[in-house]
Amino acid sequence: MENVIELQNVNKAFKGFELKDLSISVKKGFVTGFIGGNGVGKSTTIKLILNLLQPDSGDVSVFGLNYKKHEKEIKQRIGFVFDHNVFYEHITLSDMKKIIKPAYKNWDDGIFHQYVNLFELPLKKSIKTFSKGMMMKASLAFALSHRAELIIMDEPTSGLDPIFRRELLDILHDIMQDGEKTIFFSTHITTDLDRIADYITFIHNGQHIFTKEHYKIEEDYAIVKGETNLLDRDTEQEFIGIRKSNHGFEALTTNKQRTANLFGDMVILEKPTLEDIMLYTKKGNDNYVKSYS
């Protein structure tokens, strides 16, 4: 399967934070959700993909092209949405269109006006009067009007009301129908991904934890619940993160089958949510923090 985005052994260090040997690939024609807590490197990764930052080492390629030689060509084919307003605030949407339109060869006024009507956006009001939801709709209209093959979004659903979040996901779902487009978006509202994501990429503390097909996660991962006396130094190795309480323990396993074979009927296995996986991975990294509830 063709990869649209490929990061290979990318390192990028800032003061107090670094991406370590990050290798990620995003498959063409699918929606990939990009998850991780706050400050683990999601935005940095997205900026690397958009060439807003250059890696200290490693390679970034988009559509199989690198930015050194094909910067404009790549950007022509990308639509971007950021979590905050990047448009000039003192001008109107129609003026903003005048600025963005000439940048793209494949700009289609018809599509733009179709979205503007669909989203009920005012063309003649200055952008600073827009609500958060309207800003997001405007960003989306711009991102979709030049027939981008790859749409990259940084936290597009944060700060939106539940109704518009649903609408947004429906729109993204519609866009995906022709099978030619690829969406890569970061979020920490993991329930959004249940509706739409085909793949999940998870990073933690600047490191790639996994990229899996969404349905596979439920097949591999499980939340394990059982009596605390089942835990010893060996069995604890089976789990990524463990939460112990007076009533027993709860832990996350990456190998459901193996855990089932090992503990048999002594434990209960439950479907994990993406949030569970994020939480336990963080706990695991923080060295099995105990909690007494």
Partner 1 sequence: MLNLIRKDIVLQKNSLLILLPALFIFLFLERSVIWVGVIFCFAIIMQSFALDEKPSANLLMNSLPYTRKEIVSSKYIGACVFTFLVLLTIVIGNLIIHREITQWDQLLFIASVIVVFISFAFPFSYLFKSQYLMMACGVLFVLYVVLVNTFIPDLGDRLRAGVQTILSFDNSLLYAGGILAAVLLYMFSWMLSIRIYSRKVF
Question: Which residues sit at the interface with partner 1, rule CB under 8 A?
Answer: 47, 50-53, 71-73, 75-76, 78, 80, 82, 84-88, 91, 95, 98-100, 102-104
- Pick 10 or 193: Cβ nearer partner 1: 10
Spell out the residues 6+ positions from residue 170 whose beta carbon is closer than 8 angstroms to its own. none
Helix (H, G, I), strand (E, B) or coil at 110: helix
Q: Report the C-alpha gap between 250 and 70 in whole angstroms.
A: 49
CB 138 within 8 A of CB 130: yes
- Pick 84 or 216: Cβ nearer partner 1: 84
- Pick 139 or 253: Cβ nearer partner 1: 139
- Pick 108 or 213: Cβ nearer partner 1: 108
Shortest Å, Cβ 283 to partner 1: 32
Spell out the residues 6+ positions from residue 290 whose beta carbon is closer than 8 angstroms to its own. 243, 244
Please provide the distance, in angstroms rounded to a whole number, between the alpha carbons at the two ends of the chain.
46
Shortest Å, Cβ 91 to partner 1: 7
- Pick 99 or 266: Cβ nearer partner 1: 99
Question: What DSSP string describes 136-205?
Answer: HHHHHHHHHTT--SEEEEESTTTT--HHHHHHHHHHHHHHGGGS--EEEEE-S-THHHHHH-SEEEEEET
Shortest Å, Cβ 69 to partner 1: 11
- Tokens 């991975």, residue located: 281
> What are φ and ψ of residue 21, in 5° steps?
45, 50
Q: Report the C-alpha gap between 134 and 92 in whole angstroms.
A: 13
Shortest Å, Cβ 75 to partner 1: 4
- Pick 53 or 189: Cβ nearer partner 1: 53
Shortest Å, Cβ 289 to partner 1: 34
- Pick 17 or 236: Cβ nearer partner 1: 17
Shortest Å, Cβ 258 to partner 1: 44
CB 51 within 8 A of CB 71: yes
Q: Report the C-alpha gap between 238 and 245 in whole angstroms.
A: 18
Shortest Å, Cβ 102 to partner 1: 4
